[in-house]
């Protein structure tokens, strides 16, 4: 489906669509043929090579391609991975509209772009692969996705590009897996069914799997998690995935919030806030997909993935505001708002994974608070940690993958706001402000002295409007970010 070819004699390649990136103020192609074609395109009034522009030529002379699409990248100095990713995503969407089934992308001449050769190929392949995905489980898309993608690179880098593209394909497939889980409606991913789907995919990659059902969760005293599941007639599940490579020197735990539908519970959400709450398991989807990707890539780091899966519903058996429960850690929690449920299932999961596996570090991913979306908008995740190095490396991975993260504070004195008169801790504060921070501080109470990082993905996990390389629904946010970060982390030591 994806091939790397040599850019030698591009003009002799018979393809339906040849895609040529064009820079506004520089020549970025080495092939002798390109300047001529690009010149022709640029001589038209409607195309200058500016970012967002494109133009299609039908059977231009000099090439055997049936059509040639020029895609504008803007000014040379402004080109980075994301510009290329978006341009390729847009090009693919245009091809889909035109019912093209195969496209050949010309990789621009590397030395003209400051980002370096790997970043260029990586970004272009990602934009094309991710942009080509359409969710078709319930309705045939208007136009089919492309069947074949090819990328033309200089003859002497074909081998390297082939190896690199194999890795990128695996990471993109992981991202699409997470997107697919998130876009699936809640009636088809209730905890038991979702658990089975996770386990089936994980077993294919030889991950070790374990599922704790309602009886096991009760026996082990997951009081906070069970309090969230109490209102639903679907029982909770906890899925544990393990990637155990022989050469690992450190263990990392990844925890993902898996609320398959968040109605708010007795603190029922209003209309307008309910419709997209099938996405409240995006943390679990990203963690599971990352584990599967790590296994496929044979990452040399031991990973434990913990996925607490629950449905948060109101009913006669639901937890009431004011109820007090005993968490797995033994700490008692006053649940004053049943809509602050993510932190309850994460609290038990964090305690469990720390106690059971003694990991070197724990990272959790969660669509945790609307307050984080208020603070950072819909495209940037909030990252909370007392470990500066972990934060910095994650933020750097966010810049590279454009799954951006912004460091948020964990002020010790705000912990006072979570004090309860009747229990060890309360699951909300009485205040309107700082909700992303106090949610993170709540979690910190269940991390003991383990290095820990919390990523609030409530904003970027889901899009209501399509973007250059993502359709409406789950974005798969976290998979590319964590894969890049894990690759770096595996080579460092804690
Ligand atoms: N799942 C929501 C957070 C959320 C909001 C995710 C918007 C994605 C988009 C979470 O469980 C929640 O309801 N949080 C409450 C907490 C409040 C009751 C303290 C919130 O953010 O309003
Ligand atoms: Zn909620
Ligand atoms: Zn939630």
Please provide residue 76's backbone torsions phi and psi, each rounded to the nearest 5 degrees.
Answer: -55, -45
Q: In angstroms, what is the C-alpha Rg of the chain?
A: 24
Centroid of ligand 2 to alpha carbon of 339 (angstroms) = 3
What is the pairing mode between strands 208-212 and 148-153?
A: unpaired
Angle at 93 between CA 91 and CA 98, to 5 degrees: 95
| Ligand 1 center to 368 CA (angstroms) | 6
Does 252 contact ligand 1 (Cβ within 6 A)? no
Which of 369, 462, 464, when mutated, tests ligand 1's pocket best, judged by the most ligand atoms within 8 Å of its CB? 369
Q: Name the nearest CA neighbour of 5 among 157, 114, 119.
A: 157
3 state DSSP class of 136? coil
Cα 338 from Cα 154, distance rounded (Å): 58
* Dist. CA 260 → ligand 3 center (Å): 9
* pLDDT of res. 493: 65
104 Cα: distance to centroid of ligand 2 (angstroms): 45
CB of 280 shorter than 6 A to ligand 1:
yes
pTM assigned to the model: 0.97
Ligand 1 pocket residue status of 370, Cβ below 6 Å? yes
Q: Work out which ligand 1 atom sits closest to the CA atom of 439.
A: 19
For the Cβ of 341 lying below 6 angstroms from any atom of ligand 1, the answer is yes
Between the alpha carbon of residue 361 and those of residues 173, 185, 284, 340, the distances in Å are: 26, 33, 18, 25
Q: Which domains, from first to last, does the chain contain?
A: 2-153 (3.40.220.10), 176-489 (3.40.630.10)
Q: Which ligand 1 atom is nearest residue 429's CA?
A: 19
10 Å CB burial of residue 474 (0-12, 13-18, 19+) is buried
Q: Which of 339, 344, 440 to mutate to test the pocket of ligand 1 (most atoms within 8 A of CB)?
A: 339
Active site residues: 269, 343
Grouping H, G, I as helix, E, B as strand and the rest as coil, residue 445 is coil
Q: What is the pLDDT along the chain (494 residues), one digit of tens a residue?
A: 899 999 888 989 999 999 999 999 988 887 777 788 899 999 999 999 999 999 999 999 989 999 999 999 999 989 999 999 999 999 999 999 999 999 999 998 756 556 667 899 999 999 999 999 999 999 999 999 999 999 999 899 999 999 999 999 999 999 999 999 999 999 999 999 999 999 999 999 999 999 999 999 999 999 999 999 999 999 999 999 999 999 899 999 999 999 999 999 999 999 999 999 999 999 999 999 999 999 999 999 999 999 999 999 999 999 999 999 999 999 999 999 999 999 999 999 999 999 999 999 999 999 999 999 999 999 999 999 999 999 999 999 999 999 999 999 999 999 999 999 999 999 999 999 999 999 999 999 999 999 999 999 999 999 999 999 999 999 999 999 999 999 999 877 66
Closest CA to 150 of 131, 129, 171, 130: 129
- How distant, in Å, are the alpha carbons of 146, 148, 441 from that of 63? 21, 19, 61
Q: Is 258 in the pocket of ligand 1 (CB under 6 A)?
A: no
């Amino acid at each position: 489906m994806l091939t790397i070819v040599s850019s030698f004699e591009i003009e002799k390649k018979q393809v339906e669509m040849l895609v040529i990136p064009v820079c506004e103020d520089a020549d970025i192609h080495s092939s002798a043929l390109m300047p001529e074609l690009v010149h022709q395109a640029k001589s038209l009034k409607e195309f200058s090579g500016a970012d967002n522009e494109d133009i299609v030529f039908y059977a231009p002379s000099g090439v055997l391609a049936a059509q040639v699409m020029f895609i504008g990248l803007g000014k040379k100095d402004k080109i980075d991975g994301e510009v290329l990713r978006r341009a390729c995503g847009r090009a693919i969407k245009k091809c889909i509209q035109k019912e093209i089934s195969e496209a050949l992308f010309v990789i621009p001449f590397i030395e003209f772009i400051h980002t370096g050769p790997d970043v260029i190929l990586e970004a272009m392949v990602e934009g094309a692969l991710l942009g080509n995905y359409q969710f078709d489980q319930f309705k045939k898309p208007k136009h089919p996705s492309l069947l074949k993608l090819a990328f033309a690179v200089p003859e002497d880098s074909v081998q390297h590009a082939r190896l690199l593209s194999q890795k990128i394909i695996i990471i993109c497939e992981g991202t699409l897996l997470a997107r697919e889980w998130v876009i699936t409606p809640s009636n088809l991913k209730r905890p038991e069914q979702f658990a089975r789907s996770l386990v089936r995919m994980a077993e294919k990659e030889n991950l070790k799997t374990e599922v704790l059902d309602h009886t096991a969760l009760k026996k082990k005293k997951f009081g906070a998690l069970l309090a969230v599941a109490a209102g639903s007639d679907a029982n909770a599940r906890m899925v544990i995935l393990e990637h155990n490579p022989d050469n690992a020197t450190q263990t990392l735990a990844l925890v993902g919030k898996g609320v398959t539908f968040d109605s708010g519970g007795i603190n029922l959400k209003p209309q307008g806030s309910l419709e997209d709450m099938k996405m409240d398991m995006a943390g679990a989807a990203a963690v599971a997909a990352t584990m599967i990707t790590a296994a496929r890539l044979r990452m040399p780091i031991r990973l434990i993935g913990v996925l607490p899966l629950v449905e948060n519903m109101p009913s006669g058996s639901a937890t009431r505001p004011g109820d007090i429960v005993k968490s797995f850690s033994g700490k008692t929690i006053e649940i004053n708002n049943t809509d602050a449920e993510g932190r309850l299932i994460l609290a038990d999961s964090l305690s469990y994974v720390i106690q059971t596996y003694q990991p070197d570090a724990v990272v959790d991913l969660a669509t945790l608070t609307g307050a984080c979306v208020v603070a950072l908008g819909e495209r940037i995740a909030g990252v909370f940690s007392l470990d500066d190095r972990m934060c910095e490396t994650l933020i750097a991975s966010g810049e590279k993958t454009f799954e951006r993260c912004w460091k948020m504070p964990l002020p010790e004195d705000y912990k006072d706001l979570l004090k309860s008169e009747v229990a060890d801790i309360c699951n909300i504060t009485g205040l309107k402000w700082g909700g992303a921070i106090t949610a993170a501080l709540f979690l910190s109470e269940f991390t003991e002295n383990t290095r820990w990082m919390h990523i609030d993905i409530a904003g970027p996990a889901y899009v209501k409007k399509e973007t250059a390389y993502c359709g409406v629904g789950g974005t798969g946010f976290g998979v590319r970010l964590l894969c890049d970060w894990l690759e770096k982390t595996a080579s460092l030591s804690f």
